[in-house]
Structure 1
Amino acid sequence: MSVKAIERKHQEVTALVERMQNSKSFVILDYSGLTVEQVTKLRVELLENNCEIAVIKNNITRRAAKELGFDVLAENLVGPNAVAFSNEDSVSAAKIVYDFAKDNTALELKVGVVDGEYMDNTNIQVIATVPSRDTLLTMIAAGLLEPIKEVAIGLDLMAQKLENPEESSVE
């Protein structure tokens, strides 16, 4: 192998390491069996959610994963793989790929790294089914507001009872 080829591969690995470090999460997926149209649809869906997908040689991905300390990730780099990166939200890429795989059974979500922690297939699927951050915040807000609403209703009923004691008494 020529010195130029070795240097080019080293640069590719360095660029991938930087990309992996700068993303909130990334997942490895097997896209074999998908049509060009399906891959394009997945790419567009990922881009709309501030995520990216890239087909990267397994050897480059393996070297980058090892450099980041994710040797176990390298074991899953067999066959045609792509890497989906999530730039803003830790679960977006996994969620989009997981949902896309429901309708496109040829797509397989393999493994990934979420917030710097290795996730096997089972954990990635759990992460992918977690509601989005906005949904979780809405659920928390609703949970916090429910007791306040109940207190307000109770106080209103008490106020009505005090204003009209004859109407609220049981006969």
Structure 2
Amino acid sequence: MASLFYFARKVAGLLAMAKGRYQKWLESENLVLLEGWKRNGLTDKQISENMGISVNTLNKWKQRFVQIRQALKIGHESANYAVERKLFQKAMDGNTTAMIFWLKNNWRDKYNDSELSPEERKLAKARSRKTDAEADIAEYKAQILKDSGSSGVELLNEYLDKLDSLADKEVKEDGTKPDV
């Protein structure tokens, strides 16, 4: 019985200590520190080590405390804006690599490495959408089967057959060949 009492006191002490640890990081000067660490490019693992906690605890705190989540987000965005500004300046100064990188990422329709024609790119996008839809359909079928038995799946299959025929008609009207 004494060991159970000792264990309960130990757990209560650890919980109190853990509770106190997050409060420290909600103070404004520590939020600025978190922001700065993220702005300087530290990973969440490195930040959690600096804080003396596990990365799992940091992830929980980010979900639970908007102040911590915001500080890390602002730091990350600040770093992105600084790099973007430098990249843009290098591109404007005539750095060919920076220019190419900027155009490929900011004007994708015009500048890309694809050797596909515009029609082939359009067809590839349609196929990708179809693949995504088929994956969603399979997931919905599995959920319906789990929730309501095979009768629900039969009804869903009927609706999906109708959707498939409409999709094939849409692709034909679009001027592209349907997948066979």
Query: Which bin holds the TM-score, normalised by the shorter protein?
Result: under 0.3
- Which structure features the higher share of helix residues? 2
- Which structure features the higher share of strand residues? 1
Relative contact order (alpha carbons < 8 A, sep ≥ 6): 1 or 2 greater?
A: 1
